[in-house]
Homo-oligomer: A and B are copies of this chain.
Amino acid sequence: MKALVLEKRGVLSLRDVEIEEKVGPADVRVALHTVGVCGSDIHYYTHGSIGPFVVKAPMILGHEASGTVVEVGAEVRNLAVGDRVCMEPGIPDPMSRASLGGMYNLDPSVVFWATPPVHGVTRESVVHPAAFTFRIPEGVGFGEAAMVEPLAVGLHAVKKAAVAPGDVAVVLGAGTIGMVTALAAVAVGCSRVYVTDILKAKLEIAGGYESVVPIDVTAEEAAERVRSDTDGWGADVVFEASGNEQAAASVFDYSCPGGTVVLIGMPLRPVPMDIVSAQAKEARIETIFRYANVYPRALALLGSGKIDLKPLITETFRFDESVAAYEYAAQPKPTSVKTQIRVAESAQS
């Protein structure tokens, strides 16, 4: 089949690959429709590695994916041929200690798409466990469904935050993850979500959503603004979604007494945290690693119309433009949030 292959750092090709995948009794085969380009895909493309994960052999990129079921295993009950679906890209050992404990995302033996040496799915089809393949509700497109992957990160973050009704939240960083976290926070009952960034174009997109208040940190002191808007109390929840070290070091400036901080962004270096400031507010700090048991929840919220991802899908390329899509996404316009590749149309043509 055709696939977008990272041959080695900086070298991409859309070419035929030999992949033979059998549909096991609990599996389905999915014809891909849309695959997003994620920051991690770009990083493998431009750097050839992320931390300990090094691309040593040609690897298909892409893990944000939706498509159509074309074959089902003998024991599969919840899916049928023709179902529109999206897929959770990480498959754990379900009998591991972490998995049995309900945190399969923390199982060290997880096999995750487009993480070397595991192939991703910017390709024509893939075989996947039915338990990690989810029907797309009516009214939700393949593009939005392919964005369930980043949205799942935001929803996992708000689950960990345990947002209470009417909470005021702050999201540091208006990248894709910051955006979906803000949308998730609004969807689960925050009355107001401040999103901070230095890029006006991103803040404008954020500010287009109801209950989202953009703060340009080049123009105003964000923590002071939040405190002043809340009678000096502070934000109930702070989501750090920038990965920026200074931002991460500032989280407790925003917090209210008894407040919660969720660290989503991944700073390159250890961050100097003012523990005494955190203690004065008895801050609870949650950290997250991907997500678990979130996909069906994300799809239900998309289906109900409570989260609208469409404004975040800023560019769509055809499958045969895949290399160009990556070149673009590596140096996107400031107004760009999510670039996707439509695999299916190209396959049809």
Give chain B residues whose Cβ lies under 8 Å from the Cβ of A74: none
Q: Can you tell how many copies of this chain the complex includes?
A: 4
Q: Whose C-beta in chain B lies nearest to the C-beta of A155? A: B165
From the candidates B51, B97, B98, B188, name the one contacting A189 in the complex (CB within 8 A): B188
The segment out of A33-41, A113-121, A279-287, A332-340 that lies at the interface is A279-287
> What is the 8 Å Cβ interface bit string for chain A, positions 269-281, against chain B (1 contact, 0 not)?
1111111101111
Could you tell me if A248 and B275 are in contact, using CB atoms closer than 8 angstroms?
yes
A211 at the interface (CB under 8 A from B): yes
- For the complex, give the distance between the alpha carbons of A105 and B279 in Å: 11
Report the minimal beta-carbon distance from A194 to chain B, rounded to whole angstroms. Answer: 13
Could you tell me if B258 and A100 are in contact, using CB atoms closer than 8 angstroms?
no
Could you tell me if B263 and A278 are in contact, using CB atoms closer than 8 angstroms?
yes
Report the minimal beta-carbon distance from A158 to chain B, rounded to whole angstroms. Answer: 6
- For the complex, give the distance between the alpha carbons of A278 and B248 in Å: 13
A70 at the interface (CB under 8 A from B): no
Q: Whose C-beta in chain B lies nearest to the C-beta of A26? A: B95
Give chain B residues whose Cβ lies under 8 Å from the Cβ of A94: 94-95, 99-100
Q: Which of A154-170 contact B (CB under 8 A)?
A: 155, 158-160, 162-168
- For the complex, give the distance between the alpha carbons of A26 and B96 in Å: 11
A47 at the interface (CB under 8 A from B): no
Could you tell me if B304 and A192 are in contact, using CB atoms closer than 8 angstroms?
yes
> What is the 8 Å Cβ interface bit string for chain A, positions 284-320, against chain B (1 contact, 0 not)?
1111110011101111110111100000000000000
* For the complex of A and B, 8 pairs with smallest distance between CB atoms: A102-B102, A166-B297, A94-B94, A191-B300, A188-B189, A270-B272, A166-B300, A106-B257
What is the interface of chain A, defined by CB distance below 8 A to chain B? Answer: 26, 51, 78, 94-106, 108, 129, 131, 155, 158-160, 162-168, 184, 187-189, 191-192, 210-211, 231, 233, 248-249, 257-258, 263, 266-267, 269-276, 278-289, 292-294, 296-301, 303-306
29 contacts between A and B (CB under 8 A): A100-B131, A100-B292, A101-B102, A101-B293, A106-B282, A160-B282, A163-B189, A165-B187, A165-B188, A165-B294, A166-B296, A166-B300, A166-B304, A168-B300, A188-B188, A189-B189, A191-B300, A263-B275, A263-B279, A266-B279, A267-B276, A269-B272, A270-B274, A271-B275, A278-B287, A279-B289, A284-B285, A284-B287, A285-B286
